[in-house]
A = this chain, B = another copy of it.
């Protein structure tokens, strides 16, 4: 598909920024990806790798030889290596560390003390810092030297290195040179704690109205900052994880992963699902005798199961989001359960009547209509119950409800649906 476009590719390599090149590479089948990769200018390669997702960049990392790595590793800072570390073989991480300057190596090691879902793992260290006693003229001198991107504040620390105040750069200009900075510091600025959950901390940064927030440890020692770009990347990645994990996939999944690798990573999810499907089948098998006599039950089974599944997944989705945002708490979960049961009851009654009538006419059997109506009502209410309680229970067990919630939920609604429908069928129709 790219034949004859190599001129434009070469041009693009020179002009486009790293994230556009990263996107292009991700969208290419492996062979073409490698040939475009070889045209990426050396000085952009590291930025491009950082901008790519985990799996698609591994192909490129494997194709880069040792000598090239050593060149790429010069002047690498801790943040970049942290970003790439998961995709790099350990031996390359080691050699990157060995050529890294001492300060950056220290940052890397500090960050490695935190898991990647703690914000301490993702700090940046380009921070403007002054002692609490500093004056406007000290600030001006500091600013004239060098201001890192996305910096709108100078952080003031006391002698122990504890964060105390933040001063906006824009308030420094125009202020008298002798004025102590504390007198023009911000009344209020949020602070991120290094052990905090990375997503909660990032959301705080996103809505703070500052370009970056100071990050401190439990003693309030200033360790670095979290800027808007990092915060947005972490939040976006988390959303992608949520979307992908609902289908049992990884957010790093490569569009053009090798067939075998891709098949393997998806096989696990298919296997789990197969177990739940066999479980549902086993329950159906209990009613073989009934099915043989009333074949209409076999025809209508999917209706009962799927209405429960849909109703349940609506409740589940609402609760999973509520848990992630902190809307669902101990204080309101009983009220929520009641409300969802009422919604389920109302929709259950309405759809039970509709489906009951359709089934009665379809198979000219009013009793079959009654059986399916009762089964639908029963399954939609069970779905509401499971939709509220499952994610809350999974969350308590520290299992991500976005990943496993929907499999377990549909297992519940399938089984409840089949047993209710076939059980009632056995009672009323034989």
Contacts and interface: CB of A to CB of B under 8 A. Distances in A.
Contacts of A414: 302
Given A326-B27, A327-B27, A328-B27, A288 B299 contact: yes
A332 interface: yes
A346 B259 CA distance: 8
A394 interface: no
Contact of A335 (B1, B206, B321): B1
Interface in A232-267: 232-233, 235-236, 239-240, 242-244, 246-249, 253, 255-256, 259-260, 262-263, 266-267
* Consensus secondary structure, chain A interface: helix
Interface string A273-294: 1101110110011001001100
Interface stretch (A82-90, A110-118, A176-184, A349-357): A349-357
A369 B249 CA distance: 29
A126 B275 CA distance: 58
A169 interface: yes
Contacts of A210: 149-150
Interface of A: 1-2, 19, 23, 26-29, 140, 143-144, 147, 149-152, 169-170, 173-174, 206-207, 209-211, 228-229, 231-233, 235-236, 239-240, 242-244, 246-249, 253, 255-256, 259-260, 262-263, 266-267, 269-271, 273-274, 276-278, 280-281, 284-285, 288, 291-292, 295-296, 298-303, 305-307, 310-311, 313-314, 316-318, 321-322, 325-332, 334-336, 339, 342-343, 346-347, 350-351, 354-355, 358, 414, 418
